[in-house]
Amino acid sequence: MFDILLEKLNSGTYITLETTPGHSPTFAPTIEKIAELKLDKYVDGFSTTDNPLAKLKYNSLFAAKMLQERFKKPVIATMSMRDRNKIALQSDLLGANEVDIRAILALTGDPATMSDQPHTKGVFEGDSTLLLDIISAFNSGMNYAGKPLGVEPKPLYPFAVVNSYAKNPKTLQKKIQKKIKHGAMGIITQPVYDIENAKQLLELRDNANRECCSQKKRGELIFGVFPITKLRTAQFLSAHVPGINVPNIWIEKLRIAHEKGAEEEFKVGFELSKNLFDELKALHPKIHLMTANQFEVAKKILV
């Protein structure tokens, strides 16, 4: 199934849907909601998040296994450098490999100071490129220390993330280039809200691939899409989330709609988001859809 996902990533239409495991010992309700809406029919795969914002959630690797077994589609499991040292990272990869969880999204992770757990400390032995390097070592049949593994693992498929906007595009290009150099096959952007911004990102990807690597080591860009249906969400993303640019026109249209009521606010935000999704799909049909588990919204965007 991973070969099909990579084929779609490199030459076809590629759409994945993010799932966020909850603060609960069960992930089954999330799976049932996806099944009820038949969302698996509209996507090529899923992803699972790993304790976003340093808040305690159900384990991303276990969630990925459950999704993959239920829908027979590949799942990209997120692993954060915040919570694991090199031993734990490699141990998790060994266990995940046997049960066929082999697409890994490498994240540095949000600061531990944001956690809902008292006195939590971040591990941060390195940034996400360390995990990408560990995956490269595993794909060569050895651990990060260079010791051959007892049995050669099945291939791992590394993914990474990058901001969608920077005042200095060269800075963004260098970050994309760094992720490709360390082995990332797919690079998911932070949410994109402007088609010109998307075109610039594709140009930066081309430049990064050209300057960094051989034809055998290239990274594909995947547009992150996060629908905005509320004014306060647009304002929060614009003011407080680095690496994202929400156009002023979006905020202004949502402000006017907000004054008319919640129904109009949702309608305007959804139309903006749906139109953007369709434009991005026509430009470059590699999309990772994030809806914070608002799966009804996801379906409306996808159909």
pLDDT tens for each residue of 62-90: 999 999 999 999 999 999 999 999 999 99
Please report the sign of the dihedral spanned by the C-alpha atoms of residue 213, residue 214, residue 216, residue 220.
positive
Please list the ranges in the chain whose pLDDT falls under 50: none
* CATH number, domain containing residue 40: 3.20.20.220
Q: With contact defined as beta carbons under 8 Å apart, do 102 and 2 qualify?
A: yes
15 φ/ψ angles, rounded to the nearest 5 degrees? -135, 125
Total domains, the chain = 1
Q: With contact defined as beta carbons under 8 Å apart, do 245 and 193 qualify?
A: yes
DSSP notation for 6-61? HHHHHHS-EEEEEE---SSS--HHHHHHHHHHTGGGT-SEEEE--SGGG---S-HH
Residue 173, classed as helix, strand or coil, is helix
CB burial string 225-252: b at 16+ within 10 A, e below:
bbbbbebebbeebbeeeeebbbeeebbe
Q: Nearest to residue 54, comparing CAs of 127, 118, 6, 7?
A: 118
Q: Nearest to residue 159, comparing CAs of 281, 47, 33, 44?
A: 47
Q: CB 288: neighbour CB atoms within 10 A?
A: 25
Dump pLDDT digits (tens) for 116-138: 999 999 999 999 999 999 999 99
What pLDDT, on the 0 to 100 scale, is given for residue 57? 97
Range of the domain at 57: 2-302
Q: With contact defined as beta carbons under 8 Å apart, do 287 and 280 qualify?
A: yes
237's CB contacts (< 8 A; 6+ apart) are: 191, 226, 228, 244, 246
CA distance 146 to 139: 12
